[in-house]
């Protein structure tokens, strides 16, 4: 089970440890594991690396959307996104066991019993944890505010060698460092900001300021994936916008805000950018591709005739 999936699951289920919700989620994850393992056609569709990721995600949304707790669907979709396709049945079983242990022992006790992660694994764990935190925030503006809080807090730590040393001291238990952090910022920042910085202190961080700057970058990326910038050749009506928003939310598994501008130079279609994904479905782009193809064909033909 990839460290990022462990971090993601911890962030999603940490608050439900010991509650009835935690037990139900674990049982439903186990049921999904059995369903995938015992249904041959489904297992083939989900474990074949030749099947595109969006198609595998769509299969699970259609199959599980109304049958399991939304939290379970989040965890299963995340597993599909982070793990190798052929390992999915095994990962789902590991996800069930991890969810059950989180429910029974809680995040702190469970982490104390596990082997210490390497710095690389811990960074992946923190990335998964951060992804879950940002995914649970509905408003893009709030993510922007968290990004600003993280940046300002990082600069405070950077400007105070004594504070940086105290928060980075490997001889000090993580709980003690988190308590110090709480005394410093509790009530002054959003709970999500507190959670994000606190998770860094649970691991062995060599350079705390660099790690906090990395968190700022994670917030910026999360904000970028919330805004789909659409350039269209003509105005897009409300029904089309709703359909496009739904498609983008299925792709990113989180709320998406459309920013639509009209660009007649596209001739037709649209160009969509969300995060680092660019989809150019404009008529102008298709004409340029055709032009390049024809020029290439012409060059090949001339070469054959010479």
Q: Per residue of the chain (306 residues), give pLDDT as tens.
A: 899 999 999 999 987 777 888 889 999 999 999 999 999 999 999 999 888 888 898 899 999 988 999 999 999 999 999 999 999 999 999 999 999 998 888 877 777 667 677 778 888 999 999 999 998 888 888 999 999 999 999 999 899 999 888 888 888 888 888 888 888 888 899 999 999 998 888 876 778 889 899 999 888 888 877 677 888 888 888 888 888 888 887 777 777 777 788 888 877 888 888 776 777 777 666 666 665 656 655 454 455 445
Taking Cα atoms as reference points, which of 167, 199, 164, 161 lies closest to residue 180?
167
How is residue 248 written in tokens? 């983008």
Q: How far is CA 235 from the centre of its chain?
A: 31
Q: What separation in angstroms does the CA of 274 have from each of 137, 165, 215, 236, 271?
A: 17, 39, 20, 17, 10
Confidence at residue 305, expressed as pLDDT on a 0 to 100 scale: 47
Residue with tokens 């059995």: 34
How is residue 43 written in tokens? 């297992």
SS3 sequence of the chain: CCHHHHHHHHHHHHHHCCCHHHHHHHHHHHHHHHHHHHCHHHHHHHHCCCCCHHHHHHHHHHHHCCCCCHHHHHHHHHHHHHCCHHHHHHHHHHHHHHHHHHHHHHHHHHHHHCCCCCHHHHHHHHHHHHHHHHHCCCCHHHHHHHHHHHHHHHHHHHHCHHHHHHHHCCCCCHHHHHHHHHHHHCCCCCHHHHHHHHHHHHCCCCCHHHHHHHHHHHHHHHHHCCEEEEEECCCCCHHHHHHHHHHHHHHHCCCCEEEEEECHHHCCCEEEEECCEEEECCHHHHHHHHHHHHHHHHHHHHHHHC
- The pTM is what? 0.76
């Amino acid at each position: 089970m990839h460290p990022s999936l462990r971090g993601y699951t911890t962030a999603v289920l940490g608050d439900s440890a010991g509650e009835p919700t935690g037990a139900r989620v674990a049982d439903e994850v186990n049921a999904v594991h059995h369903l995938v393992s015992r249904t041959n056609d489904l297992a083939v569709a989900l474990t074949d690396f030749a099947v595109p990721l969006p198609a595998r995600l769509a299969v699970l949304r259609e199959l599980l959307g109304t049958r399991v707790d939304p939290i379970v669907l989040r965890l299963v979709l995340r597993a599909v996104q982070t793990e190798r396709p052929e390992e999915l049945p095994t990962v789902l079983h590991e996800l069930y066991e991890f969810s059950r242990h989180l429910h029974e022992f809680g995040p702190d006790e469970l982490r104390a019993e596990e082997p210490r992660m390497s710095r690389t694994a811990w960074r992946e764990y923190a990335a998964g944890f951060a992804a879950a935190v940002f995914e649970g925030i509905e408003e893009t503006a709030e993510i922007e505010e968290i990004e600003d809080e993280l940046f300002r807090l990082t600069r405070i730590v950077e400007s105070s060698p004594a504070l940086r040393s105290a928060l980075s001291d490997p001889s000090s238990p993580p709980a003690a460092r988190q308590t110090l952090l709480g005394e410093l910022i509790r009530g002054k920042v959003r709970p999500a900001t507190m959670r994000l910085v606190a998770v860094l202190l649970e691991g062995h961080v060599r350079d705390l300021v660099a790690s906090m700057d990395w968190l700022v970058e994670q917030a910026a990326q999360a904000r970028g994936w919330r805004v789909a910038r659409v350039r269209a050749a003509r105005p897009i009506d409300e029904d089309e916008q709703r359909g496009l928003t739904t498609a983008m939310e299925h792709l990113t598994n989180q709320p998406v805000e459309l920013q639509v501008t009209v660009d007649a130079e596209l001739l037709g279609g649209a160009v969509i950018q969300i995060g680092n994904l660019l989809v150019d479905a404009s008529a102008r782009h298709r004409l340029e591709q055709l032009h390049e193809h024809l020029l290439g064909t012409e060059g090949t033909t001339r070469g054959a005739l010479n």
